[in-house]
Each structure stands twice: as C-alpha cells, then as structure tokens.
Amino acid sequence: MRKTCLVLSFLLMTGCASQQVNTHGIEPSEEPVLPESADYTDINAELDYFLNDGDQLPPGFDWQVLSGNAEIIDGCIRKTESSGEYENITLSAKDGSGAYELERLLLDPWSGYIISYFSEKGDEAECMKLAYTFDCKYWFKLYEDKAVLSAKTGTKRLRDPALFRKQDGTFGVTATQGYDTDSIYVFDSPDLITFENERLLKVNASTDDTKLSEEQAWAPEIFWDHTIGRYVIFWSSVKDGSMFFNTSSDLNAFSYPQKLELTDHPVIDGTVVKDGHQWLICAKDEREPMEEHSQLFFGFSETSWNDWQTVTGPVTGHQSEGPMIMKDLEGPGWYLYYDDYTRFQFKALYLSDLKDPDIREIADSDLLIPLDAPAHSCALPVTWKEMERIQNAYGT
C-alpha cells in the first residue's frame, strides 16, 4: 500500500509539474537608446519615416531624390512607374544651415484603417479580432467578428491587441498576456492575414538600480522611431504605478525598462501619435476610487515621446480607458476612441489638432460600430492594395 501511495504521489507531482505554464519571455539584453542620444536634426525629426505618394514635403528646403524610384513635383514626393509597393528612398534636404540625407519608406496613399480589438466575453474571448473603416466613423466587420489570431504560448490569454508597422513596411502585433505576467506577446505578419514567430518578451524586468514587480505588462504598443533607429515598446503596470518603455533593435533583443515620466500619480493605457514635431499621448488616470478618477488625459511634447512638457485634462468622463487615435483621412483633425468599459461600448471625440486641440464629442448616432462587446482597440492606416488583400482574405 505504501508503494502504491508513493507511486501515486510521484505521478501526481510529475503530472502537476507538466501542467505548469511558462509565462516568462526573452530576457532584456540591449542598452536603451533614447531620443536625447540620437543624431538629432529638426527636419529628420519632423519628416515621418513612412511617407505616402503625394505627401507634401516641409517647405524651406531644396529637396532632391538621391536614391530610389521617386520624384519631387511641386514640393510633393511622388512614386514613378518603376516604384515598388514599398519603395526605399533617400532624400536630400538643403537649407542655409546645411544638407541632410534622410532615408525613408515610400508607400501608396492611405485609404483607411484596420482596427484590432478583443472581446471580454463569449467563446472567442481574449483573441484578436479585426475591423476596418474608411472614414473613422463607420466601422465594418472582418471575418464576421470572429477571431483571426489566438495565442499558443504562455497563458494563451491575448488581450489589448495592438497593430504596428515595421521598418520594412510589413506588420506586427503586440498584446497583453493575461493579467499578472511580466511578458508581452509579439507576432510578425507580412500582410495582417498570416501571423508568425509568436514570442514573449519580458519587458517588466528589474535591474540592480530599479526594482519592479515583474508581475504586470499591460496594453503594450510598439512603433518605429527612425531618429534613434529603434522600436519603442510602451506598456503599463498598476503594481509599479506607471507607464514604462523599452527600446529594441529587432523586437527579439530589447532593453531593460525605463519609467515614462508623465504625472505623479498612477497611469496606464497610454497611446502616442505624432504630427510633424508635435507629439500627443492620451492615457488613463488610474487612481482610486474609479468613480472619482478613471478618466483620460493628454500630454503634449514638441520634441519627442520621452519629453512630455504639458499635461492637461481630464478629457472624458469617469470609467474610461483604452484610448485609440486615428488621423482624419478626409479632414484636418483626429478621432479619439475609448472604452466606456462599464457599458462594453466605444465612445468618440474629435480633436482639431495635436497641439492645442478643440475637443468635440461625437454623438453615438453618428457612429456605426457593429461589433459584439469590443474592448481596447488599436487602428493602423493601410493603403488600398493592403486593404483589398485583407478584405479578400477575411470577407466583409
């Protein structure tokens, strides 16, 4: 009987061990690269890395195309008949202070947005779903509101999915891994139809100088910053009381985290957009109780994503989170969407600009969002060719 109990105990122990899930990802290994350490010039910072056919180049410079299939007509950058869909170009910008060589990626014009989101409930909760829009107000389902991406590693709980464009013009996805883990999901995608190279990055990691909880990495977002030649990874941790960032050369190796200096109280769910020199961050006040806080506010900078010079707000009511910002492709302003999370719906504001915006609430009757209990969305502009491939693959 004792032998039987010992064998059963061993089987139970080994069985339990085999059920353990590894939620920890790749460890940090790079040194951080910050905007203040970049080879900074005003025109390099002002001119976006991703240019579109027909974009107006900043005035006051003598512009030339040094390499790539492109031309400049009436101050606008244009593709030629020989241009590829993703055309690497080098521009020369000369003014009275000198000449600058600027490497950029030239794409077709934006035609609309692909929107990622997830659902808190239902059979396909905590998986990525997609929608699309042309005018930012009328959204349309892709794949009949069904999941297009689920996680196969870690907790397998994919929350807050965020799309981003990689340096070469292809795509990536990042997402929160469940609730209390130190690592985030990252995927590569050539077209937002196939997803590959699923991996976990341990972004919430302590150093000898900075001790963190190593327990939360919420609402990650990633963008390419050409001025430092790195991807920037934003994420939040309530347990650590702030937003943080890591920098990465290739989204496999990355730096230890640094705190994003924004306010003196806990914040989460920050999203960042840029227009010329102007940067705007929209984040959530995470102080308790939520009936008195839990509102969105703005931070402004005219230099970089790491130098927030002015903070204003609140700009929404209580119990708001998950902001997403889309540039109006038909006008001069910007749309800000956010989760009204106690009612499982999105609300929207219209911003006149990113420097000192007039803010107008958009009536629910002016929006069409036919999605089932969507949460925490992210929008990425795409070209007509990209949009058409995605629609053909998923159906509309």
Give the rounded percent of residues in the chain with a pLDDT score beyond 90. 83
Bridge partners of residue 311, in order along the sequence: 299
Whole-angstrom distance, CA of residue 193 vs CA of residue 162 = 15
Q: Give the global pTM.
A: 0.93
Given a cut of 50, whether residue 272 has pLDDT beyond it is yes
User: In this predicted model, what pLDDT tens digit does every residue of 197-208 receive, in sequence order?
Assistant: 999 999 999 998
Q: What is the pLDDT of residues 341-378, one digit of tens each?
A: 777 789 999 999 999 999 999 999 999 999 888 899 99
Domain 110-394 falls under CATH 2.115.10.20: yes
Q: What is the percentage of the chain residues whose pLDDT exceeds 70?
A: 94
| Residue 270 pLDDT exceeds 70 | yes
| pLDDT of residue 5 exceeding 70 | no
pLDDT in tens, 322-347: 999 999 999 999 999 999 877 778 99
pLDDT category at 319 given cuts 50, 70, 90 is: confident
pLDDT at 145: 94
pLDDT digits over 142-158, tens only? 999 999 999 999 999 99
Tokens for 57?
């180049």
State the chain's mean pLDDT as an integer: 92
pLDDT grade for 40, boundaries at 50, 70 and 90: low
For 178-232, the pLDDT digits (tens) are 999 999 999 999 999 999 999 999 999 999 888 999 999 999 999 999 999 999 9
Locate 382 and state its tokens.
């795409």
Position 293 scores a pLDDT of 87
- Rounded distance between C-alpha atoms, residue 262 and residue 283, angstroms: 10
> What does the pLDDT read at residue 86?
98
Residue 17 has what pLDDT? 45
Higher pLDDT: 215 or 42? It is 215
pLDDT at position 189? 98
Is the per-residue pLDDT at 172 higher than 90? Answer: yes
Would the pLDDT of 67 be above 50?
yes
Higher pLDDT, 76 or 313: 76
Question: What's the average model confidence in pLDDT over 233-257?
Answer: 97
The confidence score (pLDDT) of residue 345 equals 82
Q: Provide the pLDDT for residue 39.
A: 61
- pLDDT at 15 > cutoff 60: no
pLDDT reported for residue 214: 97
Domain limits of the chain? 54-107, 110-394
Please write the tens of the pLDDT for every residue from 93-141.
Answer: 999 989 999 999 999 999 999 999 999 888 899 999 999 999 999 999 9
Residue of 320 and 291 predicted with greater confidence: 320
Tell me what the mean pLDDT of segment 159-173 comes to.
98
Region 274-293: mean pLDDT is 91
